[in-house]
């Protein structure tokens, strides 16, 4: 089945493949015809001393080698081209499919394992293309040699054929071992990449806590398991050729014994015998190599099973449901009795309901772990809810395409992810077509213009991996500029001003209030001072809405919110 699945990628190149196979046949044919040369050398030159034949044979020899070389060149070149192109398309599909998965998929698989699939599994498949070409060549050489064998002496050839099936059983067993081993190795390589990723991306933590030893130890441990499986595979690989050769020696021994008797009794000429023997020895190379090539192909099959497991996996509903476009007019966002749990663990939201109208600012407060960030992640459908519904303009968000839904929501998070690209492109992320003037205006509104203009190349400065060359506050201002530029009807701010000094915070707050006008805004704030004027404050407790109201209403109520206020502002 996996074979058929892979084959689909090769279908468009069928013409090239046929041409490559013709080249292969040329190689096999010229190899097999060498056996005839041997016959003429022995019978006509050595025994009959035929001078005319001697004059022809060297040219025939050169001619055959020329054809063989041309065939080999064509076959290799064409197949590699087809193979590499098909693999690239497979890798692109893999990337596309992975991006279409919901967040849970990434949390479950881990970046390390996904990287291993994208890189090493695909490259295992890539290697196999060349091996597959060899496989075809060996197979056709074998068929050519068998043809010569039967043509020379069918009774001798039958003896050979009796021994051929012997090779089947070890090859079958070895294939299974290799496949299982490859899957294990690839899993372990995933583990290795995970340790590497953590050690490098967390380098600051590693250095400040001095955990280099620990990382090295983890790396060694993962490396040792990889080594264990690699050596195991190498043992299988190294045994393959000797086992097959040993089996083949039985066939050759039988041929020498039986064929020698036939020469002595005069049934065949010595030339026939040697032609037969050289055809037989020609079988040796393919048989031995087919074992090794088969091992590589099994490896590739294991890798493709891991790759197609992802390409062919069913889509995640929260990424694919809905076929309508959500327009730019958003009058109302509502959560109705929304229930949700990550994986199968305990419910994180236990029936949350609230409403946010156009122009309103809704603040979510509550202790950490109450489910505030989760609410923010459910509106853009990063996860699928398990109960209730989330509606925009009274319609379930599941009726809209994920793309259009998300394009109407601008998010500013605590941690801003920047791409290793220019400041301009990082700001224009949600609207790549924005002009420089628009980007500058957004940066100005986010109070980011001054620091950007001081960068070495201004808006064209590269920010480094994850924006490492910028300060936390600068990154946050870029994130706010991003949201301003997107100009979406829904705005979600998660502690948006946490990384700013109080001076910038004031300015940004002003910019944000301007931005919020006419939009529907959800804010998570730990510092209550920023949400005193919210239209409604929702106090979350253990995945439930505990209190709802304005600041004045809630303080008058003297509940959890009032208590939180007293802690933050003092009893006054």
**Contacting residues toward ligand ADP, per CB under 6 A:** 107, 342, 348, 366, 368-374
Closest CA to 128 of 176, 82, 190: 82
Nearest to ligand ADP of 359, 369 (CB atom): 369
- Smaller CB distance to ligand ADP: residue 199 or 349? 349
Q: How far is the CB of 539 from ligand ADP (least distance, A)?
A: 11
Task: Output the smallest distance, CB 217 to ligand ADP, in A.
Answer: 28
Identity of the residue, 361 or 446, whose beta carbon is nearer to ligand ADP in the bound complex: 361
Mode of pairing for the β-strands spanning 544-549 and 409-412: unpaired
Give strand pairing partners of 549: 537
CB of 143 to ligand ADP, least distance (A): 57
φ and ψ at 533, to 5 degrees?
Answer: -100, 15
Q: In angstroms, what is the minimal distance from the CB of 84 to ligand ADP?
A: 38
DSSP result, 193-209: HHHHHHHHHTHHHHHHT
| Cβ at position 202, least distance to ligand ADP in Å | 18
Hey, is 476 helix, strand or coil? helix
Residue number with CB closer to ligand ADP (105 or 163): 105
- Is the CB of 265 or the CB of 368 nearer to ligand ADP? 368
Quick one: CA dihedral 95, 97, 99, 105, positive or negative? negative
Q: Which two tokens stand for residue 19?
A: 């041409």
Closest CA to 492 of 512, 507, 465, 514: 512
- Nearest approach in angstroms of CB 416 to ligand ADP is 17
Q: What's the CA gap between 518 and 515, in Å, rounded?
A: 8
Write down the least CB distance from residue 335 to ligand ADP, Å.
14
**From CA 151, how far away is CA 261, in angstroms rounded?**
19
* DSSP string for 125-155: HHHHHHHHHHHHHHHHHHHHHHHHHHHH-HH
What is the smallest separation between the CB atom of 82 and ligand ADP, expressed in angstroms?
42
What string of DSSP letters covers 25-59?
HHHHHHHHHHHHHHHHIIIIIIIT--HHHHHHHHH
Considering the complex, state which of residue 322 and residue 366 has its C-beta at the smaller distance from ligand ADP: 366
State which residue, 185 or 497, has the beta carbon closest to ligand ADP: 497
Quick one: 430 or 543, whose CB is closer to ligand ADP? 543
Where is 473: in which H helix or E strand?
helix 472-486
Residue closer to ligand ADP (CB basis): 71 or 366: 366
Q: Could you give the CA distance from residue 27 to residue 292 in angstroms, rounded to a whole number?
A: 20
Chain-centre distance of CA 382, in angstroms? 20
CB-wise, 49 or 345, nearer to ligand ADP?
Answer: 345
Q: How far is the CB of 349 from ligand ADP (least distance, A)?
A: 8
CB distance 352 to 293 below 8 Å: no
Q: What is the dihedral of CA 45, 50, 53, 54, to 10 degrees?
A: 60
Q: Minimum Å distance from CB 419 to ligand ADP?
A: 22
Q: Measured from the CB of residue 497, what is the shortest distance to ligand ADP in angstroms?
A: 17
Nearer to ligand ADP, 104 or 407 (CB): 104
At a CB cut-off of 8 Å and minimum separation 6, what does 493 contact? 411, 412, 512, 521, 522, 523, 524, 525
Contact 346, 340 (CB under 8 A): no
């Amino acid at each position: 089945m996996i074979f058929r699945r892979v084959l689909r990628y090769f279908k468009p190149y069928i013409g090239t493949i046929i041409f490559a196979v013709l080249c292969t046949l040329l190689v096999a044919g010229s190899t097999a015809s060498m056996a005839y040369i041997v016959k003429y050398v022995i019978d006509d030159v050595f025994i009959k001393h035929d001078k005319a034949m001697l004059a022809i044979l060297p040219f025939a020899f050169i001619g055959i080698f020329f054809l063989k070389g041309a065939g080999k060149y064509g076959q290799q070149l064409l197949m590699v081209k087809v193979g590499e192109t098909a693999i690239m398309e497979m890798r692109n599909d893999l990337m596309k499919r992975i991006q279409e998965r919901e967040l849970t998929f990434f949390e479950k698989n881990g970046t390390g394992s996904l990287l291993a699939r994208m890189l090493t599994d695909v490259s295992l498949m890539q290697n196999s293309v060349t091996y597959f070409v060899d496989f075809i060549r060996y197979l056709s050489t074998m068929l050519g040699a068998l043809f010569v064998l039967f043509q020379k002496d069918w009774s001798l050839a039958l003896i050979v054929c009796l021994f051929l099936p012997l090779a089947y059983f070890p090859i079958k067993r070895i294939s299974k071992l290799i496949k299982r081993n490859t899957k294990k190795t690839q899993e372990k390589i995933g583990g290795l990449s995970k340790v590497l990723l953590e050690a490098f991306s967390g380098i600051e933590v590693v250095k400040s806590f001095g955990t280099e030893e620990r990382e090295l130890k983890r790396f060694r441990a993962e490396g040792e398991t990889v080594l264990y499986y690699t050596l195991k595979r190498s043992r299988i690989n190294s045994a393959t050729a000797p086992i097959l050769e040993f089996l083949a020696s039985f066939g050759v021994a039988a041929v020498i014994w039986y064929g020698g008797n036939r020469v002595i009794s005069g049934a065949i000429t010595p030339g026939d015998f040697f032609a037969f023997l050289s055809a037989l020895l020609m079988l040796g190379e393919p048989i031995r190599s087919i074992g090794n090539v088969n091992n590589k192909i099994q490896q590739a099959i294991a890798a493709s099973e891991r790759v197609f497991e992802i390409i062919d996996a069913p889509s995640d509903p929260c990424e694919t449901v809905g076929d309508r476009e959500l327009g730019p007019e958003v009058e109302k966002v509502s959560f109705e009795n929304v229930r949700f749990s990550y994986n199968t663990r305990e419910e994180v939201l236990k029936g949350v309901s609230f409403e946010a109208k156009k122009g309103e600012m809704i603040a979510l407060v509550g202790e950490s772990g109450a489910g505030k960030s989760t609410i923010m992640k459910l509106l853009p459908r990063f996860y699928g809810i398990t109960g209730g519904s989330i509606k925009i303009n009274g319609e379930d968000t599941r009726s809209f395409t994920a793309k259009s839904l998300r394009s109407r929501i601008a998010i500013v998070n605590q941690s801003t992810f920047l791409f290793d690209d220019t400041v301009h492109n990082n700001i224009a992320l949600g609207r790549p077509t924005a002009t420089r003037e628009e980007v500058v205006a957004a940066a100005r509104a986010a109070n980011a213009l001054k620091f950007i203009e001081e960068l070495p190349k201004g808006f064209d400065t590269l920010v480094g991996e994850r924006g490492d060359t910028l300060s936390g506050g600068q990154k946050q201002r870029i994130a706010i500029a991003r949201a301003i530029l997107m100009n979406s009807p829904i705005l979600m701010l998660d502690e948006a001003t946490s990384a700013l000094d109080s001076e910038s915070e004031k300015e940004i707050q002003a910019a944000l209030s301007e931005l919020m006008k006419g939009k529907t805004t959800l804010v998570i704030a730990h510092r209550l001072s920023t949400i005193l004027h919210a239209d409604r404050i929702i106090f979350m407790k253990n995945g439930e809405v505990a209190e709802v109201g304005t600041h004045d209403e809630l303080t008058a109520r003297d509940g959890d919110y009032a208590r939180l206020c007293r802690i933050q502002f003092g009893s006054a």
